[in-house]
Amino acid sequence: MTMSLQESAVLDEVRAQTAKELGIDLGNIAEDTVLKELPGADSVRLLRVVAQIERVYDVEFEDEDIFDVRTPRQLAGLVLAQAGAEV
């Protein structure tokens, strides 16, 4: 990836994609919100969020890494790690 990713920008994108998929207000999703506890969250919808993030940032996560993700910050950290950026 040629551009440098900023953690805050990635975190904003994760939160925005989550809000869009779940049909909830972005304000309900903080960086440390437990994703599976959000209204309307289920495994299929959360995997859609992950798939969209993978497309946006042209990354691919290992299944075991995804299963460990609980918060938007952790998902953003995976993006940054995959992109070779510092967390």
- Residue 3 to residue 50: CA distance in whole angstroms: 21
Q: For residue 28, give the CATH number of its domain.
A: 1.10.1200.10
Asked if residue 87 has pLDDT above 90, the reply is no
Predicted pLDDT at 84: 78
What is the count of structural domains for the chain? 1
- Asked if residue 2 belongs to a domain, the reply is no
Phi and psi torsions of 7, nearest 5°: -55, -45
What is the reported pLDDT for 4? 55
Q: What is the pLDDT of residues 20-71, one digit of tens each?
A: 999 999 999 999 999 999 999 999 999 999 999 999 999 999 999 999 999 9
- The DSSP result for 15-75, as a single string, is HHHHHHHHT--GGG--TT--GGGSTT--HHHHHHHHHHHHHHHT----HHHHHH--SHHHH
pLDDT of residue 7: 87
Residue 69 lies in a domain: yes
Domain that holds residue 63: 7-82
